[in-house]
Amino acid sequence: MRLKSKDVLGLEDLSVEEIELILQTAEPCKQIFTRDIKKLPTLRGKTMVNLFYEPSTRTRTSFELAGKWMSADVTNIATASSSVVKGESLKDTARTLEALGANIIVIRHQMAGAPHVIARCVKASVINAGDGMHEHPTQGLLDLFTIREHKGRIAGLKVVIVGDILHSRVAKSNIWGLTKLGAEVTVCGPPTLIPQGIERMGVEVEYNLDVALRDADVVNILRIQLERQKKGLFPTIREYSRLYGVDAKRLRIAKPDALIMHPGPATLGVEITADVAESARSVIRKQVTNGVAVRMALLYLLSGGGASSEIAG
């Protein structure tokens, strides 16, 4: 089996089978972490470009390592986030990269749909590394991988996503992936940070975190940005933390073995306390490691790979 599209723009577009394929392919990719020499010849001769219009450390580095460990030639392009980047130059850039021989373009952009603009005008594979408030599919995939790694399954789990759902592309990709694989998802945050119509994506909405956490198997905590407070979406960081900050005491409501996740970077003491982030239940570091494995799997599949025996060998 192979992926249907040349691009990965969102988990909404992927079938259950495709998601399963990516997660299965990521397993042998992860084994490479335990090796002394972290190098596979799979993408030798292929060129991958990381085109980042927004600052990013972990996602960009993760893609870069994934590409390098698969023996691709990797180039990073960082564009000043402050400059308004018009579509023509975005398209120009994409076409230029293709003319330079790029086989895979990884793009992060502050505007939803920017990866779609590029995907339509190049033959290269385009991977969305986060576009505005739309999706962050590789984050969604690595979260699925991490949950399944620890819980053995996704179906039937109760997953709570806490925080700024309105602005979160991570939440969107998680919701699509989790609901497709059969999890029960609850989103929790103040009404001002819950987008209209989110129930239609197949989730429950709960404003009270203490209620949302009941019987939770997984608690995924999103970063809260100070600029949202300045826009009047909640009164103060202090009040936000009081209502939605996850600490050890509050976490007792969830199941004793509930996983603690955070896409990072975490603001310790605001949406999550340091002791919770560093607790035995926290898989925050593992998410980072798994991110490389999942991205390796995706690069492999988009480069025409089918069965994952090539990687395991």
Partner 1 sequence: MRLLVKGGRVIDPEAGLDDVLDILIENGKIICVGRGISPQAQTSGGSEVEVEVEVVDASGKIVTPGLIDMHVHLREPGREDEETIETGTAAAAAGGFTSIACMPNTSPPLDTGASVEAVRARAARAGVVNVFPVGAITKGLAGEELAETGELRDAGVVGLSDDGRSVMNAEVMRRAMEYARMFDLPIIPHCEDTNLTAGGVMNEGYMSTVLGLKGMSRVAEEVMVARDIILAELTGARLHITHVSTAGSVQLIRDAKRRGVRVTADATPHHFTLTDEAVRGYDTNTKMNPPLRTREDVEAIRRGLADGTIDAIASDHAPHTFEEKDVEYDNAPFGIVGLETSLPLALTELVGGGYLSLAELVKRMWSNPARILGLMARKAGIVAGADADLTIIDVEKEFIVDVNEFRSLSRNSPFGGRRLKGQAFATIVGGRVVFRR
Could you give the C-alpha distances from 36 to 142, 182, 270, in angstroms and in order? 23, 37, 38
Q: Provide the minimum distance between the beta carbon of 55 and partner 1 in the complex, in angstroms, as a whole number.
A: 18
232 binds partner 1 (CB under 8 A): no
- Is residue 313 packed enough to be buried (19+ CB in 10 Å), middle (13-18) or exposed (0-12)? exposed
Please identify, among the stretches 127-135, 149-157, 218-226, 270-278, the one whose residues bind partner 1 according to the rule CB under 8 A: 127-135
Which residues within the stretch 148-167 sit at the binding site for partner 1 (CB under 8 A)?
none
* 64 φ/ψ angles, rounded to the nearest 5 degrees: -60, -45
Q: Please name the helix (run of DSSP H) or strand (run of DSSP E) that holds residue 249, with its range, or none.
A: helix 248-251
Stretch that binds partner 1, among 133-141, 234-242, 258-266, 283-291 (CB under 8 A): 133-141
Does 265 sit behind a cis peptide bond, omega within 30 degrees of 0 on the bond before it? yes
Query: What track of x and - describes contact with partner 1 for positions 63 through 92 (by CB under 8 A)?
Result: ---------------------xxxxx-xx-
Of 134, 148, 180, 295, the residue at the interface with partner 1 (CB under 8 A) is 134
Shorter beta-carbon distance to partner 1: residue 175 or 297: 175
Q: Which is nearer to partner 1, 65 or 201 (CB)?
A: 201
Closest distance of CB 86 from partner 1, Å: 5
Handedness of CA 242, 245, 251, 253 (dihedral sign): positive
Name 206's bridge partners. 188
Toward partner 1, which CB reaches closer, 194 or 276?
Answer: 194
Q: Which of 58, 68, 116, 255 binds partner 1 (CB under 8 A)?
A: 116
Partner residues linked to 158 by β-bridges? 184
Contacts of 18 (CB under 8 A, 6+ apart): 3, 4
- Cα 91 from Cα 97, distance rounded (Å): 10
- The count of chain residues that interact with partner 1, using the rule CB under 8 A, is 28
Give the DSSP letter of residue 189. Answer: S
Neighbouring residues of 137: CB distance < 8 A, sequence distance ≥ 6: 8, 9, 10, 11, 14, 127, 128, 173
Q: Shortest Cβ distance from residue 126 to partner 1 (Å)? A: 13
- Give me the least distance between CB of 262 and partner 1, in Å please: 20
Part of the chain binding partner 1 (CB under 8 A), chosen from 20-28, 109-117, 252-260, 275-283:
109-117
Characterize the bridge pairing of strands 204-206 and 158-162.
unpaired
3-state secondary structure of 184: strand
**Separation of alpha carbons 303 and 104, rounded Å:** 8
Interacting residues with partner 1 between 18 and 57 (CB under 8 A):
none
Of these, 60, 109, 180, 262, which contacts partner 1 (CB under 8 A)?
109
Nearer CB in complex with partner 1: 161/198: 198
**Exactly one of 60, 148, 158, 172 binds partner 1 (CB under 8 A); which one?**
172
For residues 188-217, which are near partner 1 according to CB under 8 A? 195-198, 200-201
What is the binding site for partner 1 (CB under 8 A)? 12, 84-88, 90-91, 109, 111-114, 116-117, 131-135, 169, 172, 195-198, 200-201
